[in-house]
Amino acid sequence: MGPLSGVRVVDLSTVISGPLAAAILADQGADVIKVEPLGGEQLRLMSSSKKPVSGTFFSCNRGKKSLPLNLNSEGGKSVLWNLIESADVLIQNFRPGAMARMGFNAEEMRARNPGLIYVSISGFGEEGPYAHKRVYDPVIQALSGATDIQAERATGYPQMFRLVVADKVASLTAAQAISSALFARTRSGEGQQIKISMLDALVSFLWPSGMPGLTFAEEEDVRQVLGTRDLVFKTKDGFITAGAVSDSEWRGLCAALDRNDWLDDPRFNTPSVRAANGDVRRDLMGDAIKHFNSADILERLDANDVPCAPVWGRDGLLDNEQLRASGTIERRIYEGFGEVRQARPPAQFEKTPSAIQGPGPRLGEHTHQVLRDLGYDADQVSALLGEGATVSTD
């Protein structure tokens, strides 16, 4: 019943950048068929879990149908061509040129299916000296400026985001672009190719707050970053975060900390000078906050309408009162998995609700179902299995 109900997506991608994009489409109702090697794609193999698949694989592939194919066999190639001819979207994240070398070039796909949205995700795009480099998330973070933004303030030592941010930003970019391309197709009747560079996606994502000092050439200040001033503050019994951007918030913070003398301080009496003197302001805030217990200072800050929150560990997510009230984390029982927790689809549609469609599939779990849907009879399916074009666990 989701907004993409009736849309068929063929997902040839691996690890996170493509699979997560396809999972978002599955949550929104698309029929997503995950095509992977007979032994399973890389993320499926990177598991220490005793469950059928790892937690990361589950989250990136939930709601999909698994169809392993040997694309070195004629039978496997024939099945993929049938899928391509019936698909609305195809997603792949191999290095540039790999699909053509496998026998599936964009021109022939377009000839066989003029309405196909063909999505190519790569590390650097198809041009430039890095185009054919092997890529993982840390490489993109290192080249995008992310490690500089995250650098330790005291030493300048570069640091990475401790999560695969480049892959996930590329996934979000791809999912949004696919929706736009599907909308454009309703007007023109034509599909198109979408090319997404992980480096482009992450630089674009970082730019508004990470690169404001590079935006105006005549005022270049490479060290300028927005949004790093008000971070984590230690209290007598833990940690909180608090920040003041507007004048009203600054007045509230000064009142909460009993520091109304800061209101007339020329270093802090306008938003611009508060930003310019952010390090000093943060240090003074920290010196004041450390004398309070977390609950007490949060109560004072809330009473003065200052944005604030306790800093919780991941173990607190399941019991967070806001997350419970909003239903952010869903719990379901799946055979072979037991209770599974997942963050619900964040886009809540009024009339075409998105929903988690099912678990991350076992390898070959839907082979018979997908082939039947493509028109293969029982003898043809048996022949494909017998020649090693596919495998099945269903």
Give the per-residue pLDDT at 225.
Answer: 66
Q: Please, what CATH class does the domain formed by 239-310 belong to?
A: alpha beta
Same fold, 8-206+325-386 and 239-310: no
- pLDDT for the residue numbered 210: 85
Average pLDDT over residues 329-355: 95
Per-residue pLDDT tens over the stretch 311-321: 988 888 888 99
Single-letter amino acid, residue 57: F
Q: What is the pLDDT of residue 319?
A: 87
What does the pLDDT read at residue 209?
84
Rounded to an integer, the average pLDDT of 102-116 is 96
List, for residues 173-231, the tens digit of each pLDDT value.
999 999 999 999 999 999 999 999 999 999 999 998 888 878 888 777 776 665 555 58
The letter for the amino acid at 238 is G
Mean pLDDT (whole number) for 79-99: 96
**Pairwise CA distance, residues 282 & 288, whole Å:** 10
Judge whether 206 and 149 are in contact, CB under 8 Å. Answer: yes
Residue 306: CB atoms within 10 A of its CB come to 23
Is the C-alpha dihedral spanning 279, 283, 285, 289 positive or negative? positive
Q: How confident is the model at residue 115 (pLDDT cuts 50, 70, 90)?
A: very high
CATH architecture of the domain with residue range 8-206+325-386? 3-Layer(aba) Sandwich (3.40)
pLDDT at 228: 53
Contacts of 169 (CB under 8 A, 6+ apart): 198, 201, 202, 205
The pLDDT assigned to 226 comes to: 57
What pLDDT shows up at residue 230? 53
CB 46: neighbour CB atoms within 10 A? 11
Q: Which position has the token pair 């799946």?
A: 334
239/294 Cα distance (integer angstroms)? 7
What value does the mean pLDDT take over residues 92-109? 94
Report the mean per-residue pLDDT for the chain.
Answer: 93
Domain map (residue ranges) of the chain? 8-206+325-386, 239-310
pLDDT above 90 covers what percent of the chain?
Answer: 82
Measured between alpha carbons, how far is 110 from 261 in angstroms, rounded to an integer? 68
